[in-house]
Amino acid sequence: MSVSGTVHLVGAGPGDPELLTRRAHRLITEADAIVHDYLVGPDILALGRPDAERIFVGKKGGGFCCPQREIEAVLIRLARAGKQVVRLKGGDPFVFGRGGEEAEALVAAGIPFEIVPGVTSALAAAAYAGIPLTHRSHSSAVVFLTGHEDPAKPDAAIHWESYGRLGATICLYMGMKNLETITRRLQAGGMDADTPAAVIQAATTDQHRQLVSTVSQIALESEHAGFGAPAIVVIGPVAALSERLAWFTEAAAAPLAACGALPAGLPS
């Protein structure tokens, strides 16, 4: 009788190790093998046992990309060898993480698995940028959309013009490459050109950057400012609140002020 390990599809959260769930942290420290994406940082990988096998199966636009079927085959192979496997994904495994496809492959192979939710990137990016995704005065609905659909689809599933009339906060994953087209189509659907929009890059990490503009200008301004993946785009009136509520950028600057690193004459 064959002995099978278990595959844990684990959300690593947005980047900061302190935002891992307690269960995710424990499973990482106990795993025999960690199969991880590009967005899982070294501080999180370092939580694993020194003898744990670490396998990179990341995807990055314009760079290395491990085919999805190969990733699934790796998970099945490791589990059939009796290993406790952590499939570690940035954010949440079931929010644009292809966790559903991997779970289906595991079921078909008869491999036991578990889903461990993580803090998804849109929630974390908005929170760290000081953007409440819902607000009684501004927005009562939130939509998560991807700017990068499966290229094998015969037609795009997202009718951007319809979302331009929805009146909800839009959180856009993987949208930097097509941001100009997406924002143009949202406006074509009726979204006001002056609707606030924000780009948050590398949220919760020491590389965190953010830019607030309007839906008509965000693509051009973020390109000129050198913004790129990984980034979340938030579109809607709530994005403007970042200008008053951006606590994380203020907190990051505080140690500089405390150490006297600010130029002379500037208020601390």
The 10s digit of each residue's pLDDT in 212-251 is 999 999 999 999 999 998 999 999 999 999 999 999 976 6
Is the omega angle on the peptide bond into residue 230 within 30 degrees of 0, that is, cis? yes
- Is residue 113 domain-shared with residue 144, that is, in the same domain? no
Q: Which residues are catalytic?
A: 37, 59
Indicate if 158 and 215 belong to the same structural domain.
yes
Does any domain span residue 254? no
Amino acid identity, position 10: V
Look up the CATH number of the domain holding residue 175.
3.30.950.10
Query: Band of the pLDDT at 153, cuts 50, 70, 90?
Result: low
Same domain, 153 and 242: yes
106 and 142 assigned to the same domain: no
* Cα–Cα distance, 35 to 10 (Å, whole number): 10
**Is 229 contained in some domain?**
yes
Is there a domain that residue 1 lies in? no
- What residues have CB less than 8 Å from 121, skipping those under 6 apart? 14, 90, 91, 95, 173, 203, 230, 232
As a whole number, the mean pLDDT across the chain is 90
* Number of domains comprising the chain: 2
CATH label of the domain that carries residue 114: 3.40.1010.10
Q: Which residues span the domain enclosing 104?
A: 7-119
Distance CA 220, CA 39 (A): 25
pLDDT for 58-101, tens place per residue? 865 545 578 999 999 999 999 999 999 999 999 999 999 999 99
Q: What is the pLDDT of residue 250?
A: 65
> Which amino acid is present at 31?
A
pTM (2 decimals)? 0.87
Domain boundary among 92, 119, 146: 119
Q: How far is CA 41 from CA 22, 44, 176, 230, 267, in A?
A: 17, 6, 21, 12, 35
Pair 209, 128 in one domain: yes
Residue 260 located in a structural domain: no
| Rounded-to-integer distance, Cα 134 and Cα 168, Å | 9
